[in-house]
Every structure is written in C-alpha cells, then in structure tokens.
C-alpha cells in the first residue's frame, strides 16, 4: 500500500500540534511497511528528501510570496501540492492507493487529484473553523468553512480524534455519521485502526477498478 | 480529422457572461480554431440561464460553479472560483478522453490551469490580455502585489505567452522579466461581417433614440474605469461643443460611473451626454455604425479592441497614442492619434474628423481595408494553431510525453 499524507505543517516547521502528530503517524506507517510520502510546506527546504526509516518527504513553497490572508496564501499553495503529488504519482507508476489530508489547507488539491486520478482521500480533522473562530461568520470564515465542507463532501472517510469531534462534524457539516471514524491518537490501537481504514478504502478501490 | 489537437481553454468570462474584452476574444478565437480543425473545450464561469454544457459552433463549453458563497474580496473569490474550476475541469479532462494543451486567459484562471498542467503533464499556454501593474500604473498594496505575483507565476509556468500587440509583448517582458523567445505576438481580431447586415432605414429610427438629427454622435465604448480615460473625453467636451453640435454617448459601466456623471452635471453638460450603460451586441453594433466618430481616450490600453470594432463598423476613430492603439491606427491614414491624457489634443482630433467629411470618409475606407487584411480571425486562428503545433513538437521531446 502506498499513501500520501498532506499537511501544512511538518517538522522542522511546527505551527501547532498537527506537525508532531503527522510525523508520528508517518513513521508508524513506515514501520508497518506502508510506503509513505508526506507533502508539506517549507519556506526554503524544498524538493524531495528521504528521512530516517524510509519516509519520503516532499516540501513545496508558495509561488506567490505576497498575500492578503491565510486564505489566499493557502489557495495559491495548493497547485504546488498538486505538482508534488503528481510527481510522486508518475514516479511510482501511478500506484498511489490513497491520500490522507490533514485539516483544510490542502483539501482543494486532494479533491482535484481524486477527480483526475481516481485516488480516494481521507479528511483527517485536527480542528474546525467553527471552533478556531467561534461565532465568526465573515466571508473569510465562510470561505474556510466552505473548503472544510468540500472536504467532508468529497472524502471517502472522515477521521476524527474524539467522539466530541465526530458529533461536531456531523452537526456542523451534516455528514452522515457512518462516514466518520473516531481514532484516538497514540493509543496501542491507534495505527491498527488507521491501517484498517486505509485498507478498506484501497481494497474497495481495487474492487471498483 | 483523426489527429485534431485537443485544447482546453480557461476563461472567467464567455458569452453570455461578458465583463470585458476576454469574453468576445475567447468566443471568436475558439470558434475560428474549431473551423481550423482544433477541438476546443472552453471551461468558464456559470451564468444565470446559460446551460452547464453546450456546443456552440463546434466548440464545447462547460460552465462551472463559480463559487457564489460571499468572499472577502475579489481576488479571494478568483482563487476560490479556481478551486471549483480546477476540480470540475479535472473530471472533464477524463470525460473527454484527455487534452493535448491547456490555454489560460489572464491571471483570473492561473491556479486552475497551472494545477492541471502538472496533474495531467500537458503543456500550458497563456494569453496575457492585461497586467495589474499596467492597470494600476504601479503596485501600491499587498493586494495588487499578490495579483502581480500570480500573473508572474502564470507566465513562469506557461510554455509560451501570447500577447495581442508588440506593446504588450515588451510590457509583459518587462513586468515579469521574461525571455523574448517565450513570447508570441498574435493580434486580436474583429468580424467585419457582424457590421454588414443593417439597412439605412432602420438605422435612422435607431439613431433618434440616442441623438437629435442635427447632433453628431461622439461614441465612447468601454468600462468606466480610470485607465480608459473617460474623464479626458468629458474635459474635452466644452472645446468640441464650441465648434460642433454633438451628443456624447457613453456605453459601459464601472466603478467610476457615479463620479463621471457628477463631473458631467457639474460642468452643465447633462443635456449633451448620454450614459447608455451596458448594451447588448446588436444595439452596440448599430450604435457603432451610427457614430460620426468613435473615441478611445485610454491612458493604458494593451490592445484596444473597441478601436477595431469601430473600424469594422466604418466609424472614423480618434485614439490616444498609447499601447496597442498606437499599432492599430496609423495617423491621418486609418484614424487620428492624439496625445494621451490630454483633453486639448483629444478635442482637436474629434473636431477635425467631425468638421471635414472628406477626411472622415478617407479614414473610414482605409481603416476598413486594414481590418479586413490584418485583423481577421482566420489569420489569427492559423497563427494560434502554429503556436500549438510548435509547443506540441517541443513537448514530444520531453520526459512528460
């Protein structure tokens, strides 16, 4: 199985909790013999590199340097994420089983790649705009919520880290609860549960093909 | 033909959605390419009442969800619209069995076309109709810089950049630091046939809606924005009216509409100026045929399609000597050139045409001939096809092929 993880933060670039989580997840997957690629952002450490244990990381930078908001910053960065993912895809003879996108930033890229290559994706939720900017309904917040909605709508599965987040995802975005899986990070069942979800998606893909 | 080149063209406007010059340009270009055995798929924004998918004269048009959720500002809307455009276009590429070339028109579709270039590994061409640095005469805010850098990104990713005038070639080269061999000049075009079928009898009834019989019609067509120089025309009006009885008809809309009509009122010229707003194609063409002089007083003009339209409609033109207009019009031969941003000079040019019928007729005839020879779409589509072929032959040598 070959998986690409999308995350806007990854060590050495750490913004919040997500960077450490995605690194731990990626290393655990490599341990379990999953061919794992991470596509992430870095100002100047760009291109492909191989980390310890065979984890492959592809860092891109933003082709547009001046921005008016994190929203526009994210939206011009997505094409570089697509370029990196496409380079991985063509480099491995198109054998990519799924994309796991962490939080909203790279959902546009995941959706385009799904339409173009028929690669299913998982939307892994760290946090939602409604909680980050409680009560804020400006066009800026609504645009980010729109991208989160797109991710919920287009993803094959939504993975959340708590029962509370599962109920929030279904409440805020009206996704049916059987699309949502709760996986508590870093417990002894953690990677087994993630792998179970990955395997069910990639197997279904083979059956559908 | 079994080996037709398949081109996917991205544009944020396509008829019936018309905002500026890109819409008619892509409409005519795609139609003439289809006649020249190029299979064109146009991907564009949706429009009320227009179908999601239709075939217009052998051109397949797909209208995508253009993102109607409120956006913080225009540029953010553009990027969000591109997110939808790219998503839908990716599915369309698969549905039509692959595409040979992506062709983008301006930064408004940069994200979608650049992303799909890499995803499908096909060459990207860009036509640069305008630039932010030209429109704003400099970059004054992060917002303008962001758009400028998006344009730079598109020109960086494009295999070839098409511009409609030599002026734009050198402007784009300067603005983004591009090598000359990446640039191709292909002029814009106009269909003279569109202006041929109208009878004189109908026109007199039509003309009376805009001007009194004794008034000459001075026509301006364009967006009411600073760089189009409508204010220069308004400031020239008193000088023109000293010598000729005229009605100034101003067609178009834009953010300066209110301040321009205030200016007209404060100058006591309301009875001499008609703000006609946005007009449909047929009304506009009839008006261009009726116009005793067509004025293009732009301060910045990448090409100047309205000058061509006036020439095709056999209306004498007075243009400011700038940008693409300088190349379209030859002074005293196919029109009159005046100093840009200079009301005195503009008034001189307009009165000269209005007072000398023999001179006006000579300009009209020469201009019409020039349009037929140089700015016809058959020629333009052949030049564009040649660029496609050259790019595909280069592509076949790369590891993407």
Note the ipTM here. 0.96
In this structure, the answer to whether residues B279 and B307 fall within a common structural domain is: yes
The Cα of A127 is separated from the nearest Cα of chain B by a number of Å equal to 21
Kindly list the distances between the CA atom of residue B183 and the CA atoms of B117, B169, B171, B187, B303, in Å, as whole numbers in the listed order.
Answer: 19, 7, 11, 13, 16
Residue B400, in any domain of the structure: no
Residue B381, in any domain of the structure: yes
Please indicate whether, in this complex, the C-beta atoms of A65 and B118 are within 8 angstroms of each other. Answer: no
Nearest Cα neighbor of A2 from A47, A79, A56, A40 is A56
Residue A209, pLDDT above cutoff 80: no
* pLDDT 10s digits, A46-97: 999 998 789 999 999 999 999 999 999 999 999 999 999 999 999 999 999 9
Confidence at residue A207, expressed as pLDDT on a 0 to 100 scale? 55
In this structure, the answer to whether residues B218 and B353 fall within a common structural domain is: yes
Please indicate whether, in this complex, the C-beta atoms of A115 and B79 are within 8 angstroms of each other. Answer: no
Kindly list the distances between the CA atom of residue B131 and the CA atoms of A9, A178, B143, B250, in Å, as whole numbers in the listed order.
Answer: 33, 49, 14, 25
- B114 chain-A contacts, CB cut-off 8 A: 79
Is B95 near chain A, with CB under 8 Å?
no
Please indicate whether, in this complex, the C-beta atoms of A116 and B120 are within 8 angstroms of each other. Answer: yes
Nearest Cα neighbor of B272 from B317, B311, B241, B228 is B241
Is A91 near chain B, with CB under 8 Å?
no
Average pLDDT over residues B198-218: 87
Residue B231 sits at the vertex; the CA angle it makes with B225 and B236, to the nearest 5 degrees, is 150
Of A66, A112, A139, the CB nearest to B142: A66
In this structure, the answer to whether residues B364 and B382 fall within a common structural domain is: no
Please indicate whether, in this complex, the C-beta atoms of B142 and A116 are within 8 angstroms of each other. Answer: no
* pLDDT 10s digits, B244-291: 999 999 999 999 999 999 999 999 999 999 999 999 888 999 999 999
Chain A interface disruption, residue of B64, B68, B71, B72, most A CBs within 10 A? B72
- B118 chain-A contacts, CB cut-off 8 A: 79, 82-83, 86-87
Domains of chain A (ranges; CATH) run: 2-208 (3.40.50.2000)
The Cα of A2 is separated from the nearest Cα of chain B by a number of Å equal to 18
Question: Residue B223 is part of which domain span?
Answer: 192-374
In this structure, the answer to whether residues B88 and B236 fall within a common structural domain is: no
Residue B84, in any domain of the structure: yes
The Cα of B381 is separated from the nearest Cα of chain A by a number of Å equal to 30
The domain total for chain B is: 2
| Residue B371 burial (CB count, 10 A) | 25
CB B156 within 8 A of CB B177: no
CB B197 within 8 A of CB B313: no
Residue B1, pLDDT above cutoff 90: no
The 3-state DSSP class for residue B78 equals helix
Band of the pLDDT at A202, cuts 50, 70, 90? confident
Compare all CA atoms of chain A with the CA of B118 and give the residue at the minimum distance: A83
In this structure, the answer to whether residues B221 and B149 fall within a common structural domain is: no
Is A49 near chain B, with CB under 8 Å?
no
* pLDDT 10s digits, A91-100: 999 999 999 9
Is A71 near chain B, with CB under 8 Å?
yes
- Cα separation, A24 vs A10, in Å, equals 10
* pLDDT 10s digits, A6-21: 999 999 999 999 999 9
pLDDT over 70, % of chain A:
97
In this structure, the answer to whether residues B219 and B364 fall within a common structural domain is: yes
Q: Which residues 110-129 in chain B show a CB within 8 A of chain A?
A: 111, 114-116, 118-121
Please indicate whether, in this complex, the C-beta atoms of A112 and B90 are within 8 angstroms of each other. Answer: yes
Band of the pLDDT at B19, cuts 50, 70, 90? confident
Residue spans of alpha helices (H) in B70-141: 74-95, 110-120, 132-135
Cα atoms found within 13 Å of the Cα of residue A171, Cβ hemisphere only:
9
In this structure, the answer to whether residues B113 and B246 fall within a common structural domain is: no
- B88 chain-A contacts, CB cut-off 8 A: 115
Residue B157, in any domain of the structure: yes
Average pLDDT over residues A28-50: 96
Instruction: Kindly report the CATH number assigned to the domain that includes residue B202.
Output: 3.40.50.2000
Confidence at residue B2, expressed as pLDDT on a 0 to 100 scale? 47
Nearest Cα neighbor of B108 from B152, B78, B66, B139 is B78
In this structure, the answer to whether residues B93 and B105 fall within a common structural domain is: yes
Residue spans of alpha helices (H) in chain A: 17-31, 70-91, 107-117, 129-132, 139-154, 163-173, 190-208
Residue B401, in any domain of the structure: no
Residues counted in chain B: 401
Please indicate whether, in this complex, the C-beta atoms of A143 and B87 are within 8 angstroms of each other. Answer: no
The Cα of B75 is separated from the nearest Cα of chain A by a number of Å equal to 8
Residue B32 sits at the vertex; the CA angle it makes with B28 and B36, to the nearest 5 degrees, is 165
In this structure, the answer to whether residues B42 and B173 fall within a common structural domain is: yes
Is A72 near chain B, with CB under 8 Å?
yes
* pLDDT 10s digits, B292-301: 999 999 998 9
* pLDDT 10s digits, B45-87: 999 999 999 998 899 999 999 998 889 999 999 999 999 999 9
Confidence at residue B200, expressed as pLDDT on a 0 to 100 scale? 65
Residue B212, in any domain of the structure: yes
Residue B201, pLDDT above cutoff 80: no
Q: Which residues 141-180 in chain B show a CB within 8 A of chain A?
A: 142-143, 145-146, 149-150, 153, 156
Beta sheet of B246-251, edge-to-edge order: B273-277, B246-251, B216-221, B293-296, B317-320, B336-338
Average pLDDT over residues A126-153: 95
In this structure, the answer to whether residues B12 and B112 fall within a common structural domain is: yes
Nearest Cα neighbor of A151 from A104, A97, A198 is A104
Average pLDDT over residues A198-206: 80
* pLDDT 10s digits, A179-200: 999 999 989 899 999 999 999 9
Is B401 near chain A, with CB under 8 Å?
no
Chain B interface disruption, residue of A82, A99, A104, A136, most B CBs within 10 A? A82
């Amino acid at each position: 199985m070959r998986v690409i993880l999308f995350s806007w933060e990854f060590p050495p670039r750490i913004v919040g909790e997500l960077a450490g989580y995605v690194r731990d997840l990626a290393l655990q997957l490599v341990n379990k013999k999953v061919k794992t690629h991470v596509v992430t952002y870095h100002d100047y450490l760009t291109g492909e590199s191989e980390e310890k244990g065979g984890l492959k990381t592809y860092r891109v930078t933003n082709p547009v340097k001046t921005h008016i908001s994190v929203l526009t910053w994210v939206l011009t960065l997505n094409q570089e994420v697509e370029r990196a993912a496409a380079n991985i895809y063509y480099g491995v003879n198109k054998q990519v089983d799924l994309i796991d996108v962490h939080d909203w930033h790279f959902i546009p890229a995941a959706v385009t790649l799904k339409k173009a290559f028929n690669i299913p994706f998982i939307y892994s939720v760290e946090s939602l705009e409604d909680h980050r900017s409680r009560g804020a309904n400006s066009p800026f917040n609504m645009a980010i919520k729109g991208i989160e909605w797109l991710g919920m709508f287009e993803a094959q599965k939504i993975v959340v880290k708590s029962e509370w987040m599962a109920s929030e995802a279904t409440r805020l975005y009206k996704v049916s609860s059987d699309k949502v899986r709760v996986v508590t990070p870093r417990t002894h069942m953690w990677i087994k549960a993630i792998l179970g979800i990955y395997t069910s998606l990639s197997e279904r893909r083979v059956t559908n093909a | 033909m079994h080996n037709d080149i398949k081109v996917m063209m991205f544009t944020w406007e396509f008829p019936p959605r018309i905002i500026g010059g890109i819409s008619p340009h892509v409409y005519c270009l795609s139609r003439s390419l289809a006649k020249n055995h190029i299979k064109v798929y146009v991907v564009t924004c949706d429009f009320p009442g227009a179908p999601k998918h239709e075939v217009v004269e052998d051109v397949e048009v797909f209208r995508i969800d253009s993102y109607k959720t409120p956006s913080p500002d225009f540029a953010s809307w553009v990027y969000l619209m591109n997110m939808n455009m790219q998503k839908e276009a990716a599915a369309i590429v698969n549905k039509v069995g692959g595409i040979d070339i992506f062709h983008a028109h301006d930064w408004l579709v940069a994200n979608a076309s650049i992303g799909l270039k890499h995803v499908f590994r096909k060459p990207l061409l860009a036509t640069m109709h305008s630039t932010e640095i030209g429109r704003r005469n400099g970059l004054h805010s992060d917002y303008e810089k962001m758009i400028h850098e998006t344009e730079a990104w598109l020109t960086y990713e494009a295999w070839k950049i098409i511009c409609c005038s030599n002026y734009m070639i050198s402007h784009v080269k300067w603005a983004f630091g591009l090598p000359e061999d990446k640039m191709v000049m292909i002029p814009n075009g106009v269909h003279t046939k569109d202006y041929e079928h109208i009878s004189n009898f109908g026109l007199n009834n039509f003309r009376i809606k805009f001007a009194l019989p004794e008034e000459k019609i001075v026509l301006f067509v364009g967006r009411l924005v600073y760089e189009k120089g409508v204010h220069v025309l308004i400031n020239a009006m008193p000088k023109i009216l000293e010598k000729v009885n005229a009605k100034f008809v101003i067609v178009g809309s834009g953010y300066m509409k209110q301040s321009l009509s205030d200016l007209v009122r404060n100058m006591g010229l309301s009875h001499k100026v008609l703000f006609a707003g946005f007009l449909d194609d047929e009304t506009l063409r009839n008006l261009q045929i009726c116009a005793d002089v067509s004025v293009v007083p732009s301060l910045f003009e990448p090409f100047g399609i309205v000058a061509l339209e006036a020439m095709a409609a056999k209306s004498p033109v007075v243009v400011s000597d700038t940008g693409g207009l300088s190349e379209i019009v030859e002074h005293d031969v196919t029109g009159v050139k005046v100093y840009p941003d200079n009301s005195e000079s503009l008034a001189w040019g307009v009165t000269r045409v209005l007072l000398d019928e023999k001179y006006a007729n000579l300009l009209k005839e020469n201009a019409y001939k020039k349009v037929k020879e140089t700015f016809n779409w058959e020629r333009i589509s052949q030049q564009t096809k040649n660029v496609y072929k050259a790019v595909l032959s280069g592509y076949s040598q790369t590891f993407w092929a």
